[in-house]
């Protein structure tokens, strides 16, 4: 099995490194002559080409991994699926909901694997957190909030909502197991007119559950923190700290004779395997190619995340007016 990589820039280099180490990198396609010149040294045996058409024609390439700019994702994925290749595409699946739905239909028609790179779903800490939720250890999920903040990396082709928030949306949908009823987003742009630097998104779910997502590339320090509040316990995933990334809090509010009583029983650190999420993600893609099973983050999963993003953008454009989501497309 060989996988061709389209786009070997900032993030694509990490995909290339992993695929090469796994013995799966068959080719690198990139418009940069400098990038292509480095391929023989960094990834011996991999073809270097500027031509997407030549890559898709190659019988040596079984699948395509797409790490190009987001605006190109849909077109490249469509071309690859049409050529009969299995496809892994970095988030977001597309920038348009209709284009994304068309990709799902095309993948089904061509009987091809379509997987979206929502990497946090392959993080061992998130897997463990999902297990806790599914087992009912936290009780009913009442509230989730996620902060993804840093000074940079500032994008030109997309705003902070589209750049940072897909990670958080993906995890929140995973934990709650359903789409929100409505999405409301506010934000502001200071560095470049019309390109939001900071956004706050509120997701309203059925059964009274809520979530909010705060993202910014204009922040004095780095923070990547997810807090899950359940009716029994609470959990915190902090991806910035080196130790104690996943903590479980046996805390909450009980009622005694009609009065609220704060419960602070215990706090514990949960341990998980030290595995690189990107490697786990790409191993899963390779396994899906071999076995033809549906990926955890398949096209439908990517479409759901995109629908929330799209609703968030429409709300942002209307200065925070909530956007109601249809249950299914």
Tell me the CATH number at 195.
3.30.360.10
Residue that is last in its domain, among 80, 112, 144: 112
Q: Is residue 329 a part of any domain in this protein?
A: no
Q: Is residue 285 part of a domain?
A: no
C-alpha closest to that of 9 among 75, 77, 90, 100: 90
Domain that holds residue 92: 3-112
Q: Are 198 and 128 in a shared domain?
A: yes
Residue 2 pLDDT > 80, yes or no? Answer: yes
User: Which pLDDT value is given to residue 157?
Assistant: 79
C-alpha dist (Å) from residue 165 to 153, 211, 215: 13, 12, 7
**In a shared domain, residues 128 and 234:** yes
User: Quick check: is 287 in a domain?
Assistant: no
Cα–Cα distances in Å, from 32 out to 7, 9, 63, 222, 262? 9, 9, 22, 31, 59
One domain, residues 212 and 77 = no
Please tell me the total count of domains within the chain. Answer: 2
Does residue 220 sit in the same domain as residue 133? yes
pLDDT in the model for residue 251: 84
In tens, the pLDDT along 10-22 reads: 999 999 999 999 9
Q: What is the pLDDT of residues 285-328, one digit of tens each?
A: 999 999 999 999 999 999 999 999 999 999 999 999 999 998 77
Same domain, 319 and 177: yes
Q: What average pLDDT does the structure give for the chain?
A: 96
pLDDT digits (tens, 9 = 90+) for 110-167: 999 999 999 999 999 999 999 999 999 999 999 999 999 999 888 877 999 999 999 9
135 and 92 in a common domain: no
Asked whether residue 295 is domain-assigned, the answer is no
Say what the pLDDT of residue 155 is.
84
Residue pLDDT, tens place only, 41-67: 999 999 999 999 999 999 999 999 999
With a cut of 90, say whether residue 179 has pLDDT above it: yes
**Is residue 76 classed as helix, strand or coil in its secondary structure?**
helix
Nearest in space to 185 (alpha carbons), one of 168, 251, 15: 168
- The residue from 112, 142, 168 where one domain ends is 112
| Residue 19 belongs to domain with CATH number | 3.40.50.720
| 270-285: pLDDT as tens digits | 999 999 999 999 999 9
Within a domain: 54: yes
Q: Are residues 267 and 191 in the same domain?
A: yes
Is 186 domain-assigned?
Answer: yes
Q: Domain check: are 31 and 143 in the same one?
A: no
Quick check: is 152 in a domain?
A: yes
Q: Assess whether 65 and 8 both reside in one domain.
A: yes
Measured CA to CA, the distance from residue 123 to residue 31 in angstroms comes to 31
Percent of the chain with pLDDT over 90: 91
Residue whose token pair is 């068959």: 26
Does one domain contain both 162 and 90? no
Query: What pLDDT is attached to residue 236?
Result: 98
At residue 266 the predicted structure's pLDDT band, cuts being 50, 70 and 90, is confident
Q: Look at residue 258 in the predicted model and tell me its pLDDT.
A: 87
Rounded distance, CA 205 to CA 182, Å? 7
pLDDT at 83: 98
- Residues 6 or more apart whose Cβ sits within 8 Å of residue 160: 187, 196, 197, 198, 199, 215, 216, 217
What's the confidence (pLDDT) of residue 263? 85
Same domain (yes/no): 90, 127: no
Q: What is the pLDDT of residues 70-98, one digit of tens each?
A: 999 999 999 999 999 999 999 999 999 99
pLDDT bin (cut points 50, 70, 90) of residue 265 is: confident
Are 103 and 148 in a shared domain? no
Q: Of 82, 112, 142, which marks where a domain is finished?
A: 112
DSSP-assigned states of every residue in 54-65 = HHHH-TT--EEE
Asked if the structure places residue 163 within a domain, the reply is yes
- Yes or no: say if 52 and 86 are a contact pair by the CB < 8 Å rule: no
pLDDT(176) > 80: yes
């Amino acid at each position: 099995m060989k996988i061709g990589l389209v786009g070997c820039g900032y993030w694509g280099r990490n995909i290339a490194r992993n695929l090469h180490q796994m013995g799966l990198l068959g080719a690198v396609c990139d418009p940069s002559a400098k990038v292509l010149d480095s391929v023989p040294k960094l990834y011996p045996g991999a073809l270097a080409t500027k031509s997407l058409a030549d890559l898709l024609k190659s019988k040596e390439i079984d699948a395509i991994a797409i790490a190009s700019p987001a605006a190109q994702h849909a077109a490249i994925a469509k071309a690859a699926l049409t050529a009969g290749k299995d496809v892994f595409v970095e988030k977001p699946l597309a920038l348009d909901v209709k284009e994304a739905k068309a990709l799902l239909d095309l993948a089904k028609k061509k009987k091809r694997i379509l997987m979206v790179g929502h990497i946090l779903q392959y993080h061992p800490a998130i897997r463990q957190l999902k297990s806790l939720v599914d087992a009912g250890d936290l009780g009913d999920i009442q509230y989730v909030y996620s902060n993804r903040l840093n000074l940079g990396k500032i994008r030109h082709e997309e705003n902070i909502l589209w750049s940072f928030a897909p990670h958080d949306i993906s995890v929140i949908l995973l934990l709650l197991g359903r789409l929100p009823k409505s999405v409301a987003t506010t934000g502001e742009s200071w560095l470049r007119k019309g390109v939001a630097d900071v956004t706050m998104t509120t997701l309203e779910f059925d059964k009274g559950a809520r979530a909010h997502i705060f993202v910014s590339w204009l922040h004095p320090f780095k923070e990547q923190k997810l807090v899950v509040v359940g009716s029994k316990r609470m959990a915190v995933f902090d991806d910035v700290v080196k130790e104690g990334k996943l903590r479980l809090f046996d805390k909450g509010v009980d009622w005694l004779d009609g009065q609220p009583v704060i419960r602070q029983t215990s706090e514990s650190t949960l341990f998980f395997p030290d595995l690189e999420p990107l490697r786990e993600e790409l191993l899963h893609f390779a396994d899906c190619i071999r076995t033809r099973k549906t990926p955890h983050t398949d096209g439908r999963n990517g479409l759901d995340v995109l629908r929330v993003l799209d609703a968030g953008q429409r709300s942002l454009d209307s200065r925070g007016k909530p956007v109601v989501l249809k249950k299914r497309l």
